[in-house]
Structures are given as structure tokens and as C-alpha cells.
Structure 1
Amino acid sequence: MNEMPMKIGDNIRKIRKERGLSLDQVADRTGVSKAMIGQIERDDSNPTVATLWKIANGLKVSFSSLLEAPAADVAIIDYKDVEPVLEDGGKYVVIPIFPFEPTKKWESYRIVMKPGCDYRNDGHPRGVEEYLTVLKGTFSLKIGEASYSLSEGESIRFEADVAHEYLNPSSEDAECHMVIYYGELS
């Protein structure tokens, strides 16, 4: 068989097992026979689009979630291979490491601030938190009216729904790892 049905079968089996469903229960929910679901899971059958829609609707998942390759158990990212996003004339460099996924509610970045960089954010929606760990140099932060100074190895967490500002007051690059958690956005 080709690669696509194998992904479909793996995805259906994974959803079924995560939900603790038997083949009979999936058949009842989807209107697709137990035998057919078993064949799809074993890669013995190439399902039609209509059959996939029945399965997706019955399991209440997106159609594309049945088609996509299962996520790897391990992902290795080398930030040197990631396309950075530049702001402030290249003084503020954002390197996306793990992009946002709705099911995870967070994203991760490596931030490099050149000397004299002053990056401002008007604030995120309520419920968003930022977690920052300084990897190199020093960072000055203004969160609302309060000011903080962080050195290598120090971390900070804050509610990010207020205006905040990152500054590199030194004559050398400053680097940090940032996680933005989106929590329960209201």
C-alpha cells in the first residue's frame, strides 16, 4: 500500500486508543463498519473520501487530522536552521523554535537583542503569560510601571496583558529563551 493510507490508519488507531474506544464503538459513532475500520487501521484498505468524512464527523475531528503524518515523539530543532524574524532594524532578532499549536497553548523562541535594542509590546490578550530565561548578557524589562534587571541564568514570569518593554543596556548582545503561554484566553 502507499504511504497515505498508512498515516490514515495510524491516525484513526491513535484517536481511538486515546479515547479508549473499541472498533465497535467507532463503528457506531461513524456509521462505518467495524471490519472496514479495522482494515483501514491495518492498512489493508484504501478508504474513500466519503468514508473519511464519516469517520472524521463521527469522531469529531478535522478531516485533515486523519491525513497528516503523526507527530514525531522527538523533535530536534537547531536554531541556526530557523529563519529569524528581525525588528528594530535588526537589533531585535526572534528565532521561532517551537511555533504555536492550539492544543499545546504555548510557543517558544530564542531572542537576541543587539546593544541598545529597545523593543516594546503594548500587551497581549488577558491570560497570556511570558516566561523568559537569560542565556547571555543582561536584560532590562519594564512591565507596566515596574522595572527589572536580569542577568545570565536568571528567569522571570509575568502576566503579559500589560505593556512591557525589553532593553539591552549593555555593549554586547543579550540572548534569552522565551516561552509564551496562551492559557485560557478570555
Structure 2
Amino acid sequence: MPGRGAFRAGLDEGAQQLTGQLGKTVQRLRKAYNLSLSDLAEQSGVAKSIISQIERNETNPTLATIWRLSQALDVSIERFLASSEDHPFIEKLSRGDTPLLVSEDGRVRLAIIGWIKTVEWLQWYDLVAEPGGLLESDGHQRGSVECLSVISGTLEVEAGDIIERAGPGETLRYRCDRRHIVRNLGPAPAHATMVCILKAAVME
């Protein structure tokens, strides 16, 4: 893992990229609505000077400020923060920028590699389980499905009353709208990709 300095630098760089996109979006939408800085300031409750700094990429606004501007410009925060849809992009995240979840026993690690824009309906993770590791989860939304594709090692999934194992190159798909458990009962670490579809059609 990178040191704290490298992690901080990564966050600063990400914030600068976000602010750059946000400034362009604010200015584009403000002009589309034919609003002056004073008009937008009055409608949003955000100071005119702050809006001007945002458009010039001179400040990192708080979430509250972003929310006020998104409401005044009649767009969702998700759309507000999104880069322009007609502009191609490549986004690179370092290991330090990738959020990490750890199971209660400390032996299973989930790196959140999914896109924040899809988190409400599609999530995917890079999973590493040490021998004996156990990841227990409560049920998600009704009809949700999880797909566990094993890269190395062997993993066991318990979903409801069903238990199944998978090895390298194999995938387990199972309903995850009930309590489910992923275990590594093998002698070596296991590595897999986990995808959770939160709004899948309800199964018969």
C-alpha cells in the first residue's frame, strides 16, 4: 500500500480533476439557463464569489454547496458530478484510491472496483480470502443476484439452504436477497471477482 503522503497526493489530484469537470458543468448549465452569476447565487444560496471560483477551478466545493447548485440548476448530483457524456475519458485509480472493505474475521478483503455511478444497481469487487476466511452478508433487495468468479483457489458459497463450491475459471451465481456466506475452506488464499446486481428481476 502507498504511504499516507502518496494517498493524500492521489486524493488531491482526484479532487482537482473533479473540480475541473464541475466548474465546466456549472458554467455550461448556467449559460444554458441564461443565468448570471448573481442569478445563480440568488437561486442557490451560494455566494457569487464561490460560484465564480468553482467555475474557474479555484476551489473544492463542499457536498452541501454542490447539492445547492444542483438543485438550482435542476439536475441530480450524480448527473452534476458526471463528466460530459459526449467527451471520452479514461479514469485510472491507484491502489490507495480504491476503497477496501474487510470482513469481521479480517481474513477476507473486498476492494471496491465498481463505478460510483452504478452503485445503486450494480456493484463489483475484487475479493481476496485467506485460508479460513469467511464473509457473511445480510440479504440485499428482493431479486438481487450475486456472481462470484474464482480466479485462483477454491471458494464455497452458502445461500439459503444450498452450498456450492467453485475453483479457478468457475462462476457461482446465487440469489443474495437472503443471508449468504462466502468461505475459503482451502489451504491457500483465494482470489475472485464478485458482481452484485441489486435490481435484478425477481426470480420465479
Structures share fold, TM-score greater than 0.5: yes
Unaligned runs of 5+ in 2: 1-18, 46-68
Unaligned runs of 5+ in 1: 13-31
Question: Quick one: percent identity of the two aligned structures?
Answer: 21
SS at match of 2:151: strand
Q: For structure 1, which segment, 69-78 or 138-147, has the greater mean C-alpha deviation from structure 2 after superposition?
A: 69-78
Say which structure is richer in strand.
1
2:185 equivalent in structure 1: 169
1:73 equivalent in structure 2: 89
Deviations 1:57-85 (A, max 9, x none): 697423x4675362673323344652422
Q: CA deviation at 1:120?
A: 2.1
The list of structure 1 runs, each at least 4 consecutive aligned residues, that deviate by more than 4 angstroms after superposition, is: 2-5, 55-60, 64-67, 78-81
Say if 1:79 and 1:95, in contact at 8 Å, map to a contact too. Answer: no
1:37 equivalent in structure 2: 32
2:10 equivalent in structure 1: none
Find the structure with the greater CA-based Rg.
Answer: 1
Say if 1:88 and 1:117, in contact at 8 Å, map to a contact too. Answer: no
Q: d(CA) in 1 for partners of 2:134 and 2:34?
A: 59
Say if 2:105 and 2:134, in contact at 8 Å, map to a contact too. Answer: no
Q: 2:75 aligns with which of 58, 61, 67?
A: 61
Say if 2:78 and 2:117, in contact at 8 Å, map to a contact too. Answer: no
Say if 1:7 and 1:66, in contact at 8 Å, map to a contact too. Answer: no
Q: 1:103 to 1:161 in 2, by over 3 A?
A: closer
Cα RMSD after superposing both structures? 3.6
Q: d(CA) in 1 for partners of 2:135 and 2:175?
A: 17
Q: d(CA) in 1 for partners of 2:91 and 2:148?
A: 22
Say if 1:92 and 1:113, in contact at 8 Å, map to a contact too. Answer: yes
1:180 equivalent in structure 2: 196
Q: For structure 1, which segment, 79-88 or 154-163, has the greater mean C-alpha deviation from structure 2 after superposition?
A: 79-88
Task: Tell me the number of residue pairs that the alignment of Structure 1 and Structure 2 aligns.
Answer: 156
